[in-house]
């Protein structure tokens, strides 16, 4: 599965991205990168979206590759939840 490709399970989107920040308590910031083709120029452009995800046990750290799933609003900006850590940072 390529990075940024959504996987739908029971109506909830799942994205893979890398952790950019883990400085908050029980919260991580995940950068989700997608490639989209430009309509006119037919070139692939890279789009990066940063989302805040809920990490209950503070398991993920900066540089880790993680999978996040859509969830109910946890706070003002958190609408995602940590599903699993795919790869730890070296």
pLDDT digits (tens, 9 = 90+) for 76-88: 999 999 999 999 9
Q: 3-state SS string over 13-41? A: EEEEEEEEECCCCCEEEEEEEEEEECCCC
Q: pLDDT tens digit string along 47-69? A: 999 999 999 999 999 999 999 99
Binned at pLDDT 50, 70 and 90, residue 10 comes out as confident
Q: Is 2 inside a domain boundary?
A: no
Binned at pLDDT 50, 70 and 90, residue 70 comes out as very high
Q: How many domains does the chain have?
A: 1
| CA distances for 11 relative to 8, 25, 59, 71, 86, angstroms | 6, 28, 26, 10, 22
CATH number of the domain within which 14 lies: 2.40.50.140
Provide the domain limits for residue 62.
7-87
Q: Is 1 inside a domain boundary?
A: no
Q: Is 46 inside a domain boundary?
A: yes
């Amino acid at each position: 599965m390529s990075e940024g490709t959504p996987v739908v399970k029971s109506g909830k989107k799942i994205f893979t991205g890398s952790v950019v920040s883990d400085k908050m308590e029980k919260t991580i910031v995940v950068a989700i990168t997608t490639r989209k083709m430009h309509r006119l120029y037919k070139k692939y452009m890279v789009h990066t979206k940063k989302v805040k995800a809920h990490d209950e046990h503070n398991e993920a750290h900066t540089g880790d590759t993680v999978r996040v799933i859509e969830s109910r609003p946890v706070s003002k900006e958190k609408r995602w939840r940590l599903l699993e850590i795919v790869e730890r940072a070296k």
